[in-house]
Amino acid sequence: MRRDPTSEKTYSMAVQLIEKSLNRKIRKIQLLNMTKREIETILGIRKIFLDAFKGFYFPKTDKIYIVDGNEEDLQTLVHETLHSNSIFHHENSPIWLYEGMTKALTEFVMLKTHNSIQSDLYLKEEKEFWARLIKTNQDIIVEAYFSENLMLALNLLKKIFNIEENIVDLNFNDVKNLSNNRFFIGNGQ
Ligand SMILES: [Zn+2]
């Protein structure tokens, strides 16, 4: 693992894009480059999954890791920088929430700053769900995402969803079904 100046330059750009488009101050952390081999040994990720990884944020070490070859991948850096500044992660919320929100916000930031995006099909529906919510309730979504208090963040989301249920206990299908009945009421589209 080592520091890489090109990755760090892309990281700085990513931080600026997020700050500009979401109007939030971003907390910067350490960034390290890794080879696929290092990821396999250190993180125990199996070979078949490795191709999908360009970078990741690890809450336990509070560092962003960039896989060699992705030093100039702005979208990946925006995505991981967002993760590293969010209260939501895999230990406190379901994947449709923390990953869907991060994917939708990544695309929002990239498009708002006139950068091209690469879409993948993984969690596509979840991402589109959050993208719609960002359109209608951007301030509250951003407030919740960057909140330092999980209860506060979840209560903000409950307010938008207009539901009593504990959001972290719901799966995406529950949310979709609830949304057909209750979400977006009074919000137009
Ligand atoms: Zn992610």
CA 79 to ligand 1 centroid distance, Å: 6
CA 90 to ligand 1 centroid distance, Å: 10
Q: With bands split at pLDDT 50, 70 and 90, how would you rate the model's confidence at 187?
A: very low
**Residue 189: pLDDT above 50?**
no
How does pLDDT run across 14-28, given as a tens digit for each residue?
Answer: 999 999 999 999 999
Q: With bands split at pLDDT 50, 70 and 90, how would you rate the model's confidence at 48?
A: low
CA 91 to ligand 1 centroid distance, Å: 13
Least confident range from 3-7, 47-51, 104-108: namely: 47-51
pLDDT of residue 4: 96
**Residue 72: pLDDT above 60?**
yes
Tokens of 182: 């209750």
CA 163 to ligand 1 centroid distance, Å: 26
CA 102 to ligand 1 centroid distance, Å: 6
pTM > 0.85: yes
